[in-house]
Every structure is written in structure tokens, then in C-alpha cells.
Structure 1
Amino acid sequence: MAEQPLEMEKPGADVPSRLIPPAETNERANDDGLLPPTQQQPVIENRDGPIVVRELYQVDADRRLPEFDQPSAKAFFVENRHDISQKLFALACTPGLPVRIDIIKKMVGHYYPGLLTLIEWDVVYWPPLGQSTLVVIYESPLGGRVLTRLSTQETKITEYDVPKKVAEPLLEAIHTIEEEVGPHRAIRADNLYFLDEDLEEIVLGPCVTSPPGFDQPSLYEPVYRAICQPEGRGTGDSRDDIFALAVSIIHLVIGRNPVAKIKEEKVLHNRLENGSYEGICNNIRLPLALIGPLRSMMADDPSIRWTYEDADSWAKGEMVETVKRLPPIKADIPFRFRKREHLTFETLCWHFCQHVEDAARVIQGDEFANWIKRHPSNLGLLQTIRGIIQARNFFEDSHQGSDAFMLTKVAILMDPNSPIQYKGLTFMPDGYGTLLGTIWNKEGGPQESADILNHDIASLWFSGHERVGQKLLDARKNFDQFRSLLSIKDPGYGLERIAYASCPGLPCLSPLIVRHNVLVIEQLLPALEGSAVSADTSSNPIDRHVAGFIAARFDSDTHPHLKAFASPKEDTSTIGMLSLLALLQWKLRSPPMLALSSWVGGLLGPAISAYHNRQTQEHLEREIPKLVRKGSMPELFNLIDDSEKRREDHEGFIAAQTEWLAAEEEIRSIEGADEERVAQGELSGQQAAATISILLSLAVISILFVTGLG
């Protein structure tokens, strides 16, 4: 019997169905708010010509405006080609540093009282850097920087000016932008400007060129955000802006940074030990009328810090109850760790987490146990810490037995309000995304950030908080989702997907397109098109970063395409790659992508070979170059993955197999009949020979018998 073939999987069963109905290949409604095709062209690396934003604003990279610089962005002169009288400046951002693109999209072209107006933005090629970067264009404040005018004594801000001239307009700005776009998170004395030449109207400066809180000196951050890494300070809310406004007011009133001559680490230690107001204002004299309001706006406990309503009422002259100073709980005897004395859990916890190995050794000693036992805040804490130390011994071979894990648990017990601290990372829960994105390409890479999820450190932190508001619930839900994504190893998931989903302003870090600084999904295909000219076209245009970027930033369902792309079968993976790019080009109404289509077309060999019919293969090989010259990946996909063509190929292959099997059976049958006839002939011959032999034997015996008788 002939060998039967294995049961075949139906071709195309594991790839997306036909991408675009034939009638829609070249037709798309222009109603979804996407960047128009004219703004999805590949970035032209013009090294000699002008830098033009949106075909209207010409930026002069040789004409600096340092008075408008931000810590992470440099300012340049801009000219409106249609209105050269308009006063503008451009900020060229740091490539690779996450920006607040979600805020930019909401703010552009809108006027907000108390805030500089964001006129326009775009990612453009920046010749001095040799790559693309984000450029944001603002209206120029005619009066310049407030601190500059104060230093030249062109104006003065007294305690009587603060409520009406500073607090009231800026509080309105804080409230308005949080309601409409989110907290500012870049309020500081050197980011305040006079909008008018008369130096009367003060406004907040830019806040979109870096992650929330990233550019802030720690002085302007609430203490627990201040001790975080700048990239991990988090989005926060208006209460953080109110804190920063209070510190800015202090700077304006006294005319200087109140702690300029004190080391930053010492200031943070004082703030943790005595409270932020005392730690910052201890060595200065403030007008009596401002002490209560400023202390209330700088309370370290966000739940008692003045809200917008409280501060606004004070600015309008109404009576508002101020926050009372609560003395910190201190030990009678300091605990000495690495030559520094500590009276509170807060300072010791922070210092411990800066020196993990030394701290792990110290907390297991008797001296620490005795100090904890005598501390007024003990309340059974020592027994819990001893339990953590003992539990560690059961997990010597896992992360739960490490110094870092043990210390993180102890830190959460000692100071539940402190940020998440693990393996040298210090961040607030809402700062994880920007932390991950910012440190990705730094020395050491993102592995420690991944360990935060792998070791479920966030859950330890959340479990230490008795007061769980909606924001904490949302943050915990986010971390649960991140852990789920991390467990999936396929392209389009994992840590890359988490980075782009949790940090909307992180540009795509794929080596293929990193120099194009791709921030939004509409820029992805033009960047790949621009890279196709010099890329290794034997490689896949979709790597893990590109796949994660698409999955996080593209609104359409990409799951079936990513599933196909992750297939171990080369033909299915190739079709998945093509379908994903084709979906982008169709949905985003992108213009023809000639170089990218050529790149992709050269990789379609496995998809062509998946067809069994040689004529079909030859037809595809003839048609692909035609569609490549059109730059249309949707049409390429529809050609390669034509369901009708696949069905015919499958049915033809099955018919050919059936015909082959029938012929094979017939051949075997014929061969079997011939063998039977040969065997029958041999048997007949043997029988005949035996008969003849017997007859001859009888004849011989008969002759001998007759002869003997004679």
C-alpha cells in the first residue's frame, strides 16, 4: 500500500484575511484627524537649506535666543513666512529624550490664560545634530524672563504684588491646563515670563520639551518626587504645581534661590527630616503675610496641601485656614550610617536605598534593632522587619533572597510615602514609563526596569498604602497590564510595547529609524521609507522596537497581524510583516512608499514559495515589480494573500495529490500483477520439471527391471 501524506494545514489559515476591499484600495475618507499625506513624506535631510516647520515657519539654526532656553531644549529665532512681524521662538528638543507629545497635540494653537501659547510643532531634520528632532514654536514673551528683569532692577515684586500679580493669574493657568490637558510640571522661577513690554502680565513658560518634572531643580519638587531620578518623578497633578509655584514665589520675593549655597543632598536631608518649608526657608526671612500661605502650599502631605481652590481664595483676598506645622517624629539618639546621623525613618530609609549592600548588612545588626526599638514610630515595626529578614533565608537562590529585595520591603515599612526604590532605581508609580524610556539606551539598559515588573515590586509598594485613591488604583491596574505584556515574548509585546505604551512621548528606538526621531504613528512609514535607501534590505523592516511602537501607538487592531508576524513559519511571518505595513499605509492614507515597497518586495520569496502552482508563482514574480513601482503595500498584500487564489491553489494541490495517489496505486497494482505472473510461471516450471523428473526416473527403473529379467 502506498504511503499516505500527512494532513495538510489550509494555506493562509493563520494570516490576516484580505486587507482592503478592492473598491477601497485608493479611497479613504479624510475624517479621522490624521496627519494629511503631505505631512507624512520622508524627512528630507537638507544640510544646506532652511529649516522649515509645516511649510510656514522658518527656523534659523544660526540665530540663538538663549533667553528662552529650557534645560533640555535650545531656543532659536523663527520667522513666519506669511507674517514676518509675528514674534516667535523655536525650541529644538534633545533627540531621544521623551517629550510630552500628548500635551503638545492638545495645546497647539490654543490660548490658555497665564501660559505662553504653543503655535506649532513638527519633527524636522536638524543639520547641527545630523538627525531629526522635535521643534516646538512659541509666541515670544515681549517682556522677557522675569528673573532677568528683576536682576537688572527694571521691576520689583513685593509681598503686596504676590497675590494679584503672581499667584492669581498663575493659579488660573495651573487650574485651566490641568482641567484641559494635564499638569504643567515645569513651574520654576526661571520659567516665568513677562508677556507684555510693560512688565505687568506674568505667564508660565514651556512645559513640553522633557518628561514631567525632569527639568526641575529638586527644590521645586515635592520632597518625595524630589528624591526620585528626574526621569521617574511622574506626571503628578496640580498639587505638585502649587508646590512649585510657592517655591517660585519665595525666589521672586527674596530675589535669589533660598538654598543656592547648600548642597542639594543636604537640602533634601533637611526637607525629609523637618519638612519642606522648614528645609527650604530655615535661613531666610519672609514677609509675615506670606508665611502661612506658602507653608500651606508646600505641605509635604498632599492630602493637606492647599488645593487650587484654597490658594485661589487666598489670592483673591479671602480668609483661608492655613496648614498647621506638625513637628516631625524624631529619635532621641541619632543612628549613624555611612558617617551621616539620622533622627527620622524618612532620612535613614532614603540613605539606605542609596547604599544597598551596606544597608542590608546594617539592618541585620543589633545596633539597628535597638535604635528601631527605642524610636517613637516603632509600633511593632521591629518584629515585622525581623520577619522579612528571616523570610529571606528561604529564598536564597531567587530574587526574594537578594539584598535589594529585602531592603525594598524594609524601606516600604519604614516610610510608606517614599517612592519605589529597587536596585538603584527611584521613581513614583506614575513615572515608570518615562523612567523606562529614558534609561533604555543608557549603560546597563532596561534590565533593572524589567526587574521591577518581573519581581512585582510595585505590588509591594501599593500594599504599603492604606489610603488608596482612584489614581493609585489606576496605577496598580497599569502595572498589572505591564506584567501581562511582559510575559508575552512575541514581537509587538514585551518590554518594548510597555515602553511605548507607558511613555507616549518616547520616540521609536529601533536602530533602523532612531535618527528620524519618530514620535507619532504617522511618521513611522516615512521614516522607514527614508531608511530604506541605506538599510540592509535583506533584513526585516520590522524589528521588536518597530513592532512594539506600532502595537502601542496605532489605534487599529494589530493582533492578527502581529500573531502572523510571530509565526515560526517563514512564509506566514513574511505575510504578517507585509500585512502590518500595508494596514498602516491604508489606514493612515500614507503616500506611495517606493523605497519601502521595494525593500518589502525583495523579502516576499517565502510567501511566493508558499503557492504550489508554478504558474501562480511566476505570475506573482511578474506582478510584484509593477506594484513595487506604485509604492502600494496594500496592493502588494492583496496580490500575495488573495484568498481566491489561495483557495484555487489549495484545491489544485489537493487534486494533484489525489491524482498522484491514484496513479501510484495503479502502478503498484500493475507491478503486483506482473510479480504474480512471474511467480505463477516459476511454480508451473517447477511442477513440470518435477513431473518430467519423475517420468524419467520411472523409465530408467523400468528399463533396469526388464534388463534384469532377461
Structure 2
Amino acid sequence: MSSARPSGEVIALDQSFELLPNERLPAFDSPQAEAYAARERQTGNPMFALVARPDLGPRREIMLHLLRQERLPMLSALAWNVVDWPPAGGRRMIAAFRRPGGRRVQTQPGERFEPWREDDILRKFIEPLLPVLRDLEARGITHRAIRADNLFFDGASDNACLLGECVMAPPGMDQPVLYEPIEGMLASPGGRGLGYTADDLYAFGVTIAVLLAGGDPAQGLESDALVQSKIHRGSYATLIGRTRLSLPMMEVLRGLLCDHRAERWTLHDMDLWLAGRRLSPKQPSLPIRGQRAYTIKGTSYWSVRAVAAAFSTNWQEGIAALQRNDVATWVRRALSDEELSDRVASAGGPGAGSSSAGGGLRDRLLSRLIMALDPAAPLQLRGFASGIDAVGQALAVHYGDPEQRQAFGELIQAKLPQTWLESQPLSRPDHAILRKSFEVMHHFIVRTEAGYGIERCLYESNDHWPCLSPILERDWVSEGVELLPALERVAAAGPPDEVPVDRHIAAFACARVKGIPERVVRTMANDQNEVLQRLAIAYFLAEVQRATGQSGFPHLAAWLARLLAPVAEGFHNRDLRQAVAEKIEQAAASGNLIALAQAGDDPEGRENDENGFARARANYAAMSREIAELEAGKLLDAEHVRLRSRQAASLLAGCIASLGLLLLTVLHVS
């Protein structure tokens, strides 16, 4: 993490690059990141920097893979860091890129421009950028941001294209639905996931179609209509239509725009095509058309995939169909597929149409029904829609939406991801890993205490996601080692009234810092004992300090010392209370959180204090009773006088007997 501070109008990103926060470059903005001017320190060469959103996690692992990758025509981050950023009023993750020599191919998504000729597409787009896709595939990386408005000309002459950045937002999030295959269109922007090279190749093919058309080739079609057109007609017919193309261009577009991933052209096919090998144009594999349509709100749908997509985009109509319980009957009559009809009937459940079936149950049944109709569709529950490998990412991207959070919690508790995996006709090697990860999520989601719950699912499934705690809203904390320094800065600026560990910080630390004892996490949730709870918070941060090997947090220690004031006040013995308060004060001055937690924690002294206090209370109670009795006249009561007289007589007789025995003994000895 950078310790740089603004100096005039220049901020140091690292030893090689400087940022210019007063120079906005909107022409280089990414959908989720604003662009500012930057430059190389030694040469002064112009650069540009992208400032990440505070609630999104850039693809830092991809940045590392592509570091200093300058030989290929693609923008890759040359440096990145977390710095104080005055325009945002806090710390932000910023990445620096070389500035392209030319303009964007398409200034804004959907904007019209002069259509390209086929030979220009081949020379300026396909030939320069295919090596980029080969390199990415060799590294096991997907770009997931190939589109016309993310292309630059790599020079003022406009002779070749340069592919834009792909690291400032989660994969697939920035893609317009036009560039996504059917499964990606049905998922929410945050739930499209890493995907495969085949998804990049599909976007590559759509970009060719956009260049040919000089803009959106499906302009005028709403998202739902575009999905249904791709399902019924295929992507090629939807995007190309009756456009006249040469046979080679028709061949490559049919191959790249194939809607079945397994049938889509690979990079090897593209290499053969570039080498001059010509094949018969690939025909689209369209879904089986039923003998009769299934009608939803007056619109006819002729395939199970089309019906499933219609339910996905109109959830309440799907619930209504579930209650009518007529989908399985339509499948049997329209498609004559008894096996699929049985699966659909089983997924819908026998009680779906019952008036006693709750809304949550119907939502889950509809989710299973969509899986039965279209196993390739994303995992869905109401507004939550995600690829199976991007469920955690979808939660993180859409965390600010309470309905999405609620839907995520319900689908994890109902184990719908496991159901989706079981519904797949073919099992992939990664399915076992995914199943295990969802079982872990289920373990977290059913526990409600701080350190678990939906927040733990968020940070466990997104390695570099920034902590979303309101306490850290002016900072950027994405690694465990960054947590305590950030809290120190908060404390130095004037700590808030609340404790320094909320649900987000607890879950973030448990996910990023290994070795925090379970007993400490459990005790933090003990709201019945304030002393133990506050001690647990101090120990929690002390364990973070121990695990990260850091030191020197005087302001945070002072914040915790104030938090531990009730711990010292909890002692009944005045001397012990003062001694503990002094130990806490001394430990806070050292900035050592471990010593601070230990200063407030004296189990033996607390036990002795409690035992002594119990004895004192018992003695006080006895004395109070005796005083009350005396004040009530017990001293003059006949029975009391008789009892006391007997006691006095017995005592006197004993004294006389003892004295007599003593005299006899002395006389006998003398």
C-alpha cells in the first residue's frame, strides 16, 4: 500500500508513475472507473489512470498476470496502488495504463459510426487482436470486455486496433447484453463470471457484426425480445439478418456466433480460417420447436428454453404458471417428451398450486422448474440471476440491493446451487469444487453472529473485494494486512462512537486473516455480558495484529482503551479496579493491541473479585437483617432476652470451669 501523499497537483503512484488529479480524461473512462491524467516520472510520457469504484473489486490477479505485457495490442495495467485521492475525499485503488495513440472505435455503446468494410475488419481488427486472445488463453485468462466501445486505434493513422482494459470491474459486468451469449444475457451484470475463451470469441464475433453494421445491429430490440430472438432464430440470424456478406465472412460469423458453446469456433478454427482453409458455413442448432405454443401474457413461446427465459424475465408470470401447474402438460403434448415432462412435473412440486404454499416456497419451486426446462440457464431466484461459478461475485456486485441479498440468502439456505449442479446433463471437473464451496456458504449463512452470515459469504468468495464497512467508507481495504492501518487512520481522524468491529469488519478479518480463534468470534456475539463482549473485540483485533505481525497503533489502542472502560469498571474492589485501569492506560500508550487486551483480561483476579464481592454481599445482608431486627425491638423481646441469657450463662459457666481447671492444675504442679 502506498504511503504517498498529495504534493501540489501531483500524487506519486509508485516510483515510476505520477497521477494528476486535476486533469480528468473522460475520453478514457471505463464504465466503472473514471480516467485521470498520469505520466512517467523519468520520461514524462503521457499515461492515463483509472480510479476504481469504492464498492467494486478490480481483477488484481489478472493485473499481476498481465503486468508489463506491452508487446501485444491490449491495455494492461503498468502499476496500481491504493493512494489518497483528493477528488474522492479518501483512499482509492488506482491503476495506470499507457495512453493509446488513437481514438475509440465507438465513443459510446450503441453510437452509430461509419460501417467498416470486410477487408478493414480483417486487417485492423481480426489479425491484430487474435494474438491477444491466444495469449490470454495460454495464461488461462478470459478478457470478458471485448466490445466496440472498448477498442482504440493504436495510432493516429487508424491502421490497427488496440483492445481496452479488462481489470477495473468484475468479469463480464460491463458488457451490454448484445455481446453476451444467451446464458450471459439471462444473468445479472454482476453474475456473468469469468466464463470461457468461447465467451470471448462470441463477443469477438458480435464486435465484427457491430463493425459491419456501424453500430448496434439489433437496434430497437429490447433485452427480452433480443433474448427470444437469439433463442428462436439464433444469434447469427438476429445480428446479421439479410446483410450480404462474402462467404469467408459469413463462415467466420456463423462459427463465432454459434449459441452452443461446445459447437462454437475455437482459436484453432480461427487460425485455420486465417490460413485460408474454407469450410461449409455452420448452421445454427436451434431448440426443438413444439407442435403448439405456450402462451404467457398473450405472447407465444415455442420451445422449453424460450419458456424458461420468459419465466426468468417475468418472475410473477412464472409463479402464476406454477400455480396453474400446466407446464409439464404442455411439454408432454407439444414436444412428446415424457422424460422431460416428468422432470418438469417433479421440479414444480405437487403442492405448488396449493393456496397454503408460501411465496418463498413458490419462488424456490419456480427456480427448480427453470433448471428443468433449461439446464444451461443461470441459477435464478426472483431478481438474483448468476452463472454457477459467479454466485459469490453476483452477491458482491449487487450487495447494495436488499432484495438481491435476501434472494441470495434464500437460495443458499435452500441449497439451490447444489440442485442446479445435479440438474446438469454432463458433469464438469469443477463441479465437485463448486459443490464444496456452496456447502461452506451454507455453513456461513445459517450462523447469524458477527464474523459469519451473508457478509462472510461475500468476502470468502471474492478474494480481493474491498471491505464494505461504513467505518472504512473513506478508505480502501482489500487485504488483511491493510485492516489495522486503516482503523488507525480512522481513529487518528476522530473515532466514531461505535466499536471498531462491525459485521463487515468481523467477516472480512475472518476471511482474510487466518488463525483467529473461534472462541473469540463466538464471545463477540455475547450481548448478554458487555464486559466479555468488549474484551472479545479487543482480543479479535489483537489476533489480527498477531497474525499480520504489525505494530504501532496508538490511536486505535486509545479507541479500544475507551471501549474497555466498562471492563475496568466491572471490578468491585476499588484497588483492583484502579490497578486494571492503569494497566489498560499503559498498554494503550504503547500501541500494542495484544498487551491491551491482556491488560483488561485477568480471569483469576476477576474470579477472586467476584467471590469477595459475594462474601461481602452475604455479610452485608446478614448485618442488614440484624440491624432491622434490633430496630424492630428485638433487643427487649422476652424470647431474645432468654436466648441471650442462656448464651451468656453458658459462656460464664465455661469461663468459670476453665478458670477452676487452671487453678487445680497450678496447685497440683506446685
For normalisation by structure 2, the TM-score amounts to 0.82
Q: Distance in 2 between matches of 1:364 and 1:152?
A: 44
1:112 to partner: Cα distance: 6.3
What CA deviation, in whole Å up to 9, does each residue of 1:603-662 have, x standing for no partner? Answer: 123544677876565344234334433433234245445xxx766x489779989999xx
Question: Residue 499 of structure 2: SS of its match in structure 1?
Answer: coil
Counterpart in the other structure of 1:678: 646
Question: In the TM superposition, what are the counterparts of 1:77-116 in structure 2 within 5 Å?
Answer: 77-84=37-44, 86-111=45-70, 113-116=72-75
Q: Distance in 2 between matches of 1:358 and 1:110?
A: 50
Question: In the TM superposition, what are the counterparts of 1:121-140 in structure 2 within 5 Å?
Answer: 121-140=80-99
Picking from 32, 42, 54, the partner of 2:14 is 54
Q: Does 1:580 align with 2:548?
A: no
Cα 1:122/1:675, change in 2 over 3 Å: farther
Counterpart in the other structure of 2:498: 539
Q: Does 1:605 align with 2:565?
A: yes
Picking from 251, 257, 264, the partner of 1:298 is 257
Q: Distance in 2 between matches of 1:312 and 1:531?
A: 55
Q: Does 1:470 align with 2:435?
A: no
Cα 1:398/1:58, change in 2 over 3 Å: farther
Question: In the TM superposition, what are the counterparts of 1:543-582 in structure 2 within 5 Å?
Answer: 543-557=502-516, 559-567=518-526, 569-582=529-542
Q: One-letter code of the match for 1:306?
A: W
1:511 to partner: Cα distance: 1.5
Cα 1:371/1:105, change in 2 over 3 Å: same
1:290 to partner: Cα distance: 2.1
Q: Does 1:492 align with 2:451?
A: yes
Structure 2: which 5+ residue stretches go unaligned?
A: 624-641, 654-670
Q: One-letter code of the match for 1:95?
A: P
What CA deviation, in whole Å up to 9, does each residue of 1:438-468 have, x standing for no partner? Answer: 2222354611221111222222222211201
Counterpart in the other structure of 1:166: 125
Q: Distance in 2 between matches of 1:152 and 1:681?
A: 115
Q: One-letter code of the match for 1:215?
A: D
Q: Does 1:509 align with 2:459?
A: no
Contact 1:163–1:315 (Cα < 8 Å) also in 2: no
Q: Does 1:350 align with 2:318?
A: no
What CA deviation, in whole Å up to 9, does each residue of 1:316-337 have, x standing for no partner? Answer: 4456787443343112443331
Contact 1:109–1:119 (Cα < 8 Å) also in 2: yes
1:213 to partner: Cα distance: 0.8
Q: Distance in 1 between matches of 2:202 and 2:521?
A: 45
Counterpart in the other structure of 2:367: 408
Counterpart in the other structure of 1:275: 234
Q: Distance in 1 between matches of 2:367 and 2:375?
A: 11
Q: Which has the larger radius of gyration?
A: 1
Q: One-letter code of the match for 1:483?
A: H
Q: One-letter code of the match for 2:254?
A: R
Cα 1:338/1:397, change in 2 over 3 Å: closer
Bigger drift between 75-84 and 378-387 goes to 378-387
1:307 to partner: Cα distance: 2.7
Cα 1:251/1:659, change in 2 over 3 Å: closer
Counterpart in the other structure of 1:479: 438
Counterpart in the other structure of 2:664: none
Contact 1:72–1:209 (Cα < 8 Å) also in 2: yes
Contact 2:51–2:94 (Cα < 8 Å) also in 1: yes
Q: Does 1:375 align with 2:334?
A: yes
Counterpart in the other structure of 2:218: 259
Bigger drift between 306-315 and 453-462 goes to 306-315
Picking from 575, 588, 593, the partner of 2:553 is 593
Q: Distance in 2 between matches of 1:377 and 1:103?
A: 48
Q: Does 1:425 align with 2:384?
A: yes
Picking from 121, 133, 142, the partner of 1:183 is 142
Cα 1:117/1:437, change in 2 over 3 Å: closer
Q: Percent identity?
A: 26
Cα 1:658/1:268, change in 2 over 3 Å: closer
1:401 to partner: Cα distance: 7.0
Bigger drift between 562-571 and 184-193 goes to 562-571
1:557 to partner: Cα distance: 4.6
Q: Distance in 1 between matches of 2:287 and 2:614?
A: 87
Picking from 224, 227, 230, the partner of 2:186 is 227
Q: Distance in 1 between matches of 2:209 and 2:7?
A: 46
1:160 to partner: Cα distance: 4.2
1:178 to partner: Cα distance: 4.6
Question: Residue 118 of structure 1: SS of its match in structure 2?
Answer: coil
Q: Does 1:289 align with 2:257?
A: no
Q: Distance in 1 between matches of 2:326 and 2:523?
A: 60
Counterpart in the other structure of 1:671: none
Counterpart in the other structure of 2:169: 210
What CA deviation, in whole Å up to 9, does each residue of 1:530-556 have, x standing for no partner? Answer: 322566655210011101111122245
Cα 1:335/1:605, change in 2 over 3 Å: same
Q: One-letter code of the match for 2:232?
A: E
Contact 1:493–1:548 (Cα < 8 Å) also in 2: yes
Q: Distance in 2 between matches of 1:606 and 1:154?
A: 69
1:528 to partner: Cα distance: 1.8
Q: Does 1:195 align with 2:154?
A: yes
Aligned residues: 630
Question: In the TM superposition, what are the counterparts of 1:299-378 in structure 2 within 5 Å?
Answer: 299-317=258-276, 323-365=282-324, 371-376=330-335, 378=337
Q: Distance in 2 between matches of 1:356 and 1:188?
A: 30
1:187 to partner: Cα distance: 0.9
1:205 to partner: Cα distance: 0.9
Question: Residue 91 of structure 1: SS of its match in structure 2?
Answer: strand
1:600 to partner: Cα distance: 0.8
Structure 1: which 5+ residue stretches go unaligned?
A: 1-34, 668-673, 686-710
1:476 to partner: Cα distance: 2.3
Q: One-letter code of the match for 1:506?
A: W
Cα 1:535/1:509, change in 2 over 3 Å: farther
Question: Residue 417 of structure 1: SS of its match in structure 2?
Answer: coil
Q: One-letter code of the match for 1:67?
A: A
Q: One-letter code of the match for 1:434?
A: Q
